[in-house]
Amino acid sequence: DAKTTQPTSMDCAEGRAANLPCNHSTISGNEYVYWYRQIHSQGPQYIIHGLKNNETNEMASLIITEDRKSSTLILPHATLRDTAVYYCIVRAPSGNTPLVFGKGTRLSVIA
Amino acid sequence: EPEVTQTPSHQVTQMGQEVILRCVPISNHLYFYWYRQILGQKVEFLVSFYNNEISEKSEIFDDQFSVERPDGSNFTLKIRSTKLEDSAMYFCASSLLSGGLTDTQYFGPGTRLTVL
């Protein structure tokens, strides 16, 4: 089973920041937090991952709390194309550890 | 940007028939995976493959399933005798490295398998 808890759905106005929370209170010290998204029935798309520090790339920012028990994915300026299911996944660092997907958060970006 | 490709995009088959789903992982990647997603359900891990052998498999991956890397580029999933419940989206993924370092899995667009 997934080790994360996410809200089932969220709405966000186009052009505003989308903040997607994730709880992972049982995360171990060496486990990473990964975020993927899935648009319609397309293949999951990698967004970002982190261990302790906040991370930013061209798609999003990841804020991890100091105790690592929760994190927030931030899409700074949401567009209609960001409408998708967003998955927060906790994963051990050993090479081929499978990804365990939960139900994710369905983000709807509204014009 | 390199990407994982999969063929066909949609496969329709009769129950009991064999199907082969094909994937071309990202060229310098070393680990390969298959996942599936039944309509309306979660994405589920099936199998991982490294150095020409299965690394890990889930309980879903029974004797009806097999994987192969027949040449330097393709990675295939075979279902020997399809059942109605095999109808799903099948996603291939690949990742670059292993050995104690986290690595990122990149997914293909998927093959929709419909078993009639």
The per-residue pLDDT for range B32-51, each reduced to its tens digit, is 999 999 999 999 999 999 98
Q: Quick one: closest CA in A to B48, which residue?
A: A96
For residues B82 and B13, the answer to whether their CB atoms sit within 8 Å is yes
For residues A78 and A18, the answer to whether their CB atoms sit within 8 Å is yes
**Cβ atoms within 10 Å of A63's Cβ, excluding its own:** 16
Predicted pLDDT of residue B101: 55
**B80 vs chain A: nearest CA distance in angstroms?**
24
Assign A29 a pLDDT band (cuts: 50, 70, 90). Answer: confident
Predicted pLDDT of residue A95: 64
Of A34, A38, A99, the CB nearest to B45: A99
Q: Quick one: closest CA in B to A93, which residue?
A: B102
Number of inter-chain CB pairs under 8 A, A vs B: 67
Say whether the peptide bond before residue B70 is cis (omega within 30 degrees of 0): no
The per-residue pLDDT for range B6-34, each reduced to its tens digit, is 999 999 999 999 999 999 999 888 899 99
Beta-carbon contacts of residue A38 (< 8 Å; ≥ 6 apart): A44, A45, A84, A85, A87, A104, B43
A104 torsion bin: left (phi>0), alpha (psi -120 to 50), beta (else): left
Predicted pLDDT of residue A27: 93
Predicted pLDDT of residue A97: 82
Check whether B100 has a pLDDT greater than 70. no
Q: Quick one: closest CA in A to B88, which residue?
A: A41
Radius of gyration of chain B (CA): 14
CA–chain centroid gap for A35, Å, is: 4
**Using CB atoms and an 8 Å cut-off, which of residues 36-55 of chain A contact chain B?**
36, 38, 41-46, 49, 51
Structure tokens given for B46: 């099936």
Closest CA to B3 of A101, A42, A32: A42
Closest CA to A58 of A75, A80, A79: A75
What mean pLDDT, rounded, does chain B reach? 93
Predicted pLDDT of residue B102: 59
- Separation between Cα atoms, residue A43 and residue A37, nearest integer Å: 9
B113 torsion bin: left (phi>0), alpha (psi -120 to 50), beta (else): beta
List residues of B whose CB lies inside 8 A of any A CB: 4, 31, 33, 35, 37, 42-45, 48, 50, 55-56, 58, 89, 91, 93, 95, 97-110, 112
Assign B71 a pLDDT band (cuts: 50, 70, 90). Answer: confident
- Separation between Cα atoms, residue A76 and residue B109, nearest integer Å: 26
Check whether B70 has a pLDDT greater than 70. yes
For residues B32 and B49, the answer to whether their CB atoms sit within 8 Å is yes
Predicted pLDDT of residue A106: 98
Q: Do B107 and A102 touch (CB under 8 A)?
A: no
Residue B73 burial by Cβ neighbours in a 10 Å radius (0-12, 13-18, 19+): exposed
Predicted pLDDT of residue A1: 66
Percent of chain B having pLDDT more than 70?
A: 95
- Separation between Cα atoms, residue B36 and residue B24, nearest integer Å: 17
